[in-house]
Amino acid sequence: MTQGRTLGLLGGTFDPIHYGHLDAADAARRALSLDEILFVPAHDPPHKADDPRASAFHRFALISLALDGLTGCRVSDLELIREGQSYTVDTLRTLHAEGWRPSQLFFILGTDAFADIATWREYPQVLDAANFVVIARPGTTGDAALARTPELRPRLTAGDTRIVLVEARTRDVSSTIIRRRLAAQQPIDGLVPAAVARHILAHQLYGAVGRLHDEEQSARS
């Protein structure tokens, strides 16, 4: 039942998911009083030069572990089961077919991703398919990201779907940093939830071997 509800969508490779993703989702939920946040991992992200390092199975599992216990958050396999590249406009149209109106959908992305919005498939029509919620990332404000596409500024105040800038404090972490630390056998405390770190270690993802979570050692001492 979609009538009257609002749905936040956080897409990405999630290779792996980290606290920056969770902070962005929480900031959007609080700013807009969203009913639910749907995490949508991409099968084949068109804006990434390399394929995801972890399989779709593991990335889905890592998100599930990260969301465990978080009210109003769930993960979707919508893009993982779709053949070909994962385009946001296709995902939004699928949700429209399920009964969601564009005005009910809030696509969440960081300022770094929004800065490249003009390269997205079916731009600018994709912006009519949902509201776009731009979350500030360390070092980049929403206004700075919008400066690359000044023609979109009227969408801040008018239209059936809008661009919403959210200035929030999100942790300065990226999947690239996490993968580099894992490859170097360095701990990733404070970057991902403990359950995510344990799954990475158990399956030796991203080159991980040995102890990755310092708190395990502290618990034994």
Our CA dihedral for 142, 107, 115, 123, rounded to 10 degrees, sits at -130
> Quick one: fold of 7-220?
Rossmann fold (3.40.50)
84 confidence band (pLDDT: 50, 70, 90) = confident
User: What are the DSSP calls for 131-167, one per residue?
Assistant: EEEEE-BTTB-HHHHHTT-GGGGGGGTSSSS-EEEE-
**Side chain identity at residue 183, one-letter code:** A
Least confident of 49-58, 163-172, 203-212: 203-212
Does 215 score more than 50 pLDDT? no
* Main-chain dihedrals φ then ψ at residue 31, nearest 5 degrees: -65, -35
Beta pairing partners, 11: 40
**Prediction pTM value:** 0.91
Give the pLDDT band of residue 216 (cuts 50, 70, 90): very low
Give residue limits of the domains in the chain: 7-220
- The string of pLDDT tens digits covering residues 1-22 is 678 899 999 999 999 999 999 9
